[in-house]
Structure 1
């Protein structure tokens, strides 16, 4: 039986490579009349902060306060970053739909999640009912022939569903 894609996951990093790879995701969605979910992973600011500063979260608690009240600013920053990325993805999706001369808005979902990119993409892919993951990859010389890219490679190695990797090489127009 030939595969039929009903729901495609596109992993975005908002780079030029992302735009190139998104064309493949939109093309597949249009060809198969499939739903398309665009996922962008942001760093988890609390994890980043604690790793960079080597902080013990308990040390952030002052006398008579809780950890939650001292870290409210971090939640606000994470929400601001999420809102900004959602707006950028909306704009990119509108541009892609205009290029494709197709309205996929009824079949399009945008997700922004915090966490490790590979883990987040795989968790989303395996928890949802996706038939395919589309990712972009830089293609910049001999090293890239050996390594697809850290995120793309991690997704390929651990995915239980097909992964389409759209490479961009230095000599190709993006």
Structure 2
């Protein structure tokens, strides 16, 4: 069975390492990069004063997703690899698992964490949740 790889890519150094690992380990596999817009982040940004108006959160999140996808696409192109990018909205672990189930993905690769500090403590570990709940192999890069 051909491998269909999903990379959880958030622009962090570990997600960049995960993408490089996937390209090197599965050179002939189709690779999809997923970025998840988490609506909870908008609440945190507005409360912390990072966004002037709550209504702007989605536009800002879409712009961020576009920048992150460009980074992933550029990294893949440097390694002569074509990359499909997708954006989902929701809780990151749930969205990653649902996408994998809905699109015949049979390998997930992701960094051990994309956040640090208080965000990671408050929101928990996406990598841990994906690893525990996935029905397919998950490779965690640290």
2:104 corresponds to 1:129: yes
Aligned length: 125
Distance 1:26 1:162 in 2: 16
Conservation of the 8 A alpha-carbon contact between 1:118 and 1:151: yes
Distance 2:5 2:18 in 1: 13
2:67 corresponds to 1:87: yes
Conservation of the 8 A alpha-carbon contact between 1:133 and 1:161: yes
Rg (Cα) greater in structure: 1
Post-superposition shift, 1:48? Answer: 5.0
Structure 1: any 5+ residue segments left out of the alignment? 54-72, 139-148, 168-174
TM-score using structure 2 length: 0.74
Counterpart among 10, 13, 22 of residue 10 in structure 2 = 13
Distance 1:94 1:136 in 2: 18
Matches within 5 A, 1:8-157: 8-30=5-27, 33-44=28-39, 48-49=42-43, 74=55, 77-98=57-78, 100=79, 102=80, 104-105=81-82, 108-138=83-113, 150-157=125-132
The list of structure 1 runs, each at least 4 consecutive aligned residues, that deviate by more than 6 angstroms after superposition, is none
Distance 1:14 1:91 in 2: 7
Structure 2: any 5+ residue segments left out of the alignment? 48-53, 114-123
TM-score using structure 1 length: 0.62
